[in-house]
Structure 1
């Protein structure tokens, strides 16, 4: 794995795979980093089926749906991360059709 120099998080480096970058589950950008430098969501293996549940992991008590809503309002998965994020590069733009604030009833 290659260190992602733009995703420093308190001394840790997020990693990027050699495969085409995966999209961030929070913001939809193809950063491929463990901690997304665009929204600062940390990949925790959560799926769409449990996006509304709080799970034990790196994102604390933040659900994926709440992080998506925060991103649409604040530009970060949580307001406290606003100073840590950056705009997506042209090659990282959102995946077409990605819906980040959808809540299913």
Structure 2
């Protein structure tokens, strides 16, 4: 596990993650254009749902966009990335981010 500072704060990543984790550790962001588009649409105080939060690469940017007066609900059903996501949320003091472990959808898979 690695703790690194990125564009939106501290991220906790798996050292074995050679894609998202590597980008977060080396560049400090992942898929930044997606976060930029969301930030243009979101305002402080908004509520946003992120379905499939993985390790929180987008979550931290969404949390910054809605601010402490907003709310981010993020779902990640896989335990390992969800724990890393929750650690990043906690280390950044993001009380307005709720991490959920349920899978969303009508069927498994």
Same fold (TM > 0.5): no
TM-score band, normalised by shorter chain: 0.3 to 0.5
TM-score, normalised on structure 2? 0.32
TM-score, normalised on structure 1? 0.32
